[in-house]
Amino acid sequence: MAEIKTAIGLMSGTSMDGIDVALLRTDGRDHVERGPSMGIAYDPAFRNSLKQALDDAKTITERRQRPANLIEIERELTLRHAKAIRIFLKENRIVPADIDVVGFHGQTVLHRPDQALTVQLGDGALLSQETGIAVVYDMRANDMVHGGQGAPLIPIYHASLAATLASTADVQRPVTFVNIGGISNLTFVGTDGSIVAYDSGPGNALIDQWVETHAGIPYDQGGMIASEGRVLSELSDRYLSSPFFTAPKRRSLDRNDFLPPQRRDASLEDGARTLAHVTAAAILKSAGHLPEPPKSFIICGGGRLNRIIMDDLAVLAAEQHAVAITAEAVGLNGDTMEAEAWAYLAVRSLAGLPLTFPATTGVRKPVSGGVFAAPDLAQAAVSVPSG
C-alpha cells in the first residue's frame, strides 16, 4: 500500500493576484483527502514588481538566467511564500513537522514551449530553509526535456477528482475540468478514464489588463463592467480566428500570446464584455479537439466568479447538449484546486510517479519531474527520477 503523505501546495498563477495555499493528504494516486486552504493577496506594489518581471524575463535564453531585477524579485517572492506557509500553519494549528512536503509552483515569467524554455521564479532551497519543510519545485522543466509543452501539469489530479465524482448526479462523463486563470486550460476525462489536456486560450489575463489599463482596477469583479457592455463581433472574431484554435497540434500558451485590444477598439464596457465572451467561446472552440464532446464542464479558477463568462459558457455548452457548472456545485473548491494539485504533484514527484503524459503535454513518454530541497541540504540540486 502506498504511503499517505501530508502536503501543502502553493500556487501563484498568471493573474498575479496572490498566493493560494492548500493542504492535502494523499498517496499521489487515488487517495485524496482535501484539507483547509486559504488565499493571500499581493499588495499593488508587489504586483507591479511581478509585471516588471515579465518584461525583464523577455531577454532570457536559458531558464536559470535572472537578468535585471529578477534575482531580487525571486527572493522576495520566495519569502512571501514562506510567510504564507507560516500564516497558514498558525491559523490551522499545524506545526511544520506535521507536513511531509511542500509543492512550490513559483511565478511563471516566461513560457516558450516551442523553444523548450520555461521560467518559474521561486527558490525552493530558500523556501525549505525558511520553513523547515522539504520542498519539491521546478516541476515543469523535465517535461520539456522529454519533448513536452511543460503545461498543463494538473490533469492527473483532475483525473483523481473525477473518480470521486463518479456517483454525483450533476456530473456526467465525459467530464472536462476547465481552469480559468490568466490563461485557461482544460482536462478531459473520458468514460474509460482516459485523460487529454491542453491550454484552451486566453482566460482572465486579457480582461484584467483591459480594465486595469482603462479603469485603474485590477479585475472586473463579478463581471460588473462587462454586464454594461455588448459583444463586438468584429473584435471577438479577431481573437477566435487565431491559428491557435485550428492548429492540428495543441500548444501551451504564454501570457503574451494573446494581447489586449487597443483603446480605440472599444469602450471600457464593450471591451470587457467582448473579452468575457472570447474567454468562454475559446473554451468551447478548443474543446472541439477532444476525442468526444464533453457532457459536463466543471469550471475552476477565478474566471468562474465572472458571471458573464459563466452565463456565456452555460449557453454555449447547452448548444452542445452539455452543462457548465462551478466546482463548488459538486463540492470542490474552484479557488484552490491548482494549489491542491501542486501538493498532489509533489507527493507523486517524491514517489517518482509520472506528472505528465503524451496526451496532456505532448511529452514523448510519461515522466516525473521536479527538484527536491530539504532544510538540511545546502543546495537544492536533487532531481527526482525522470520516469
- Render pLDDT for 135-159 as a digit per residue (tens, 0 to 9): 999 999 999 999 999 988 999 999 9
Nearest to 188 by CA among 295, 285, 32: 295
Distance between CA atoms of residues 154 and 142, nearest Å: 15
- Least trusted range by pLDDT, from 25-34, 162-171, 214-223: 162-171
- Render pLDDT for 231-244 as a digit per residue (tens, 0 to 9): 999 999 999 999 99
**CATH 3.30.420.40-classified regions of the chain:** 5-149+337-383, 155-330
Distance between CA atoms of residues 317 and 320, nearest Å: 5
Q: Which residues, other chains included, contact 83 with Cβ-Cβ below 8 Å and sequence gap of 6+?
A: none
Quickly tell me which residue has 532531481 as its cell.
Answer: 383
pTM of the model: 0.88
DSSP 334: T
Give kind and range of the element (H or E) at residue 40: strand 32-41
Q: Which residues pair with 6 in a beta bridge?
A: 25
Phi, psi angle pair for 145, to nearest 5°: -60, -35
Distance between CA atoms of residues 355 and 346, nearest Å: 9
Between 162 and 224, the higher pLDDT residue = 224
Residue 165 falls in which region: left (phi positive, over 0), alpha (psi -120 to 50) or beta: alpha
* CATH superfamily of the 155-330 domain: ATPase, nucleotide binding domain (3.30.420.40)
**Radius of gyration over every alpha carbon of the chain, rounded to an integer in angstroms:** 20
Buried b (16+ CB within 10 A) or exposed e, 13-24: bbbbbbbbbbbb
- How far apart, in Å, do the first and last CA atoms of the chain sit? 20
Mean pLDDT of 304-331: 96
Mean pLDDT of 161-178: 83
pLDDT of residue 254: 83
Q: What CATH fold (topology level) applies to the domain 5-149+337-383?
A: Nucleotidyltransferase; domain 5 (3.30.420)
CB 38 within 8 A of CB 30: no
Distance between CA atoms of residues 256 and 92, nearest Å: 38
Mean pLDDT of 240-265: 91
Q: Which residues pair with 101 in a beta bridge?
A: 7
